[in-house]
Structure 1
Amino acid sequence: MVKLIALYKHPENKESFDRHYEGVHTPLTEKMPGLKKLEVTRMEGAPMGGEAKYYLEAAMYFEDRAALDAAMGSPEGRASAKDLMGFAGPLVTMMIGEVIREG
């Protein structure tokens, strides 16, 4: 299994960000073919106290790299990526990881 990870820095307007993320971006992402699971985490703080470096983390799980690549190249994947760059381009860092242990 592989996952596409998106880490979001703190937006200036969290309410507006959350509204767009939940009302527009998430529904677009959920339409990506081959998506097994979408997990979104809002950071609450750092282990030693203080504010976390990131505001939100999203992990999108796919069966394998081929499924992820196909999803990203699909019309749904391109729509999700276009929306992402429009509302959070400067805030987001994207990574791909292989799940080597679960549970």
Structure 2
Amino acid sequence: MYKTVGLYKRMDNEDQFYDYYTNVVVPQLLNIPGVLKVEVTRLHSTRASGDSTYFLMGETYFASYESFQRTLTTPEGKAALATALKESAEFLTAYVGQEESFKTNIFTKPHYIK
């Protein structure tokens, strides 16, 4: 599975941007043919990272890299990209990647209780 990952830097109007992103950008993304799902995560720095550069992460999922490429040529894809960049171009760092998932299985993995 392929996805885009958008990391949004801290800004003065984070709550306002979050509302814009979830109420305007996400619905547009979900209307693009080939988009499987969209996930939005508010980020919080930890003691270990000490990093407070980013406050929001948006992930958009596609079945394949080819599916992702096709979405960029659709009218819906072009409109969603323009909308997303309209309010956030200076705050956005974006990536495209291939996702792999790893999960534990409590039925086959030994668990020890002392």
Q: Same fold (TM over 0.5)?
A: yes
Larger radius of gyration: 2
Number of the residue aligned with 1:82: 82
Matched, 1:69 2:61: no
1:16 counterpart letter in structure 2: Q
Percent identity over paired residues: 27
Q: For 1:15 and 1:60, locate their aligned partners in 2 and report how far apart those are by CA, in whole Å.
A: 21
TM-score for the superposition, normalised by structure 2 = 0.81
Give the superposed CA RMSD. 1.6
Partner of residue 10, structure 2: 10
CA distance 1:96–1:48, shift in 2 (3 Å): same
Q: 1:73 to 1:102 in 2, by over 3 A?
A: farther
Q: What SS does the corresponding residue of 1:45 show, helix, strand or coil?
A: coil
In the alignment, the residues of structure 2 paired with residue 93 and residue 51 of structure 1 have an alpha-carbon distance, to the nearest angstrom, of: 15
Deviation of 1:15 after TM superposition, in Å, equals: 2.2
**Cα drift, residue 31 of structure 1:** 0.8
Instruction: Name the structure 1 match of 2:111.
Output: none
TM-score, normalised via structure 1 length = 0.89
Per the alignment, residue 41 of structure 1 pairs with 41
Q: Which moved more, 1:16-25 or 1:41-50?
A: 41-50
* Count of equivalent residues: 103
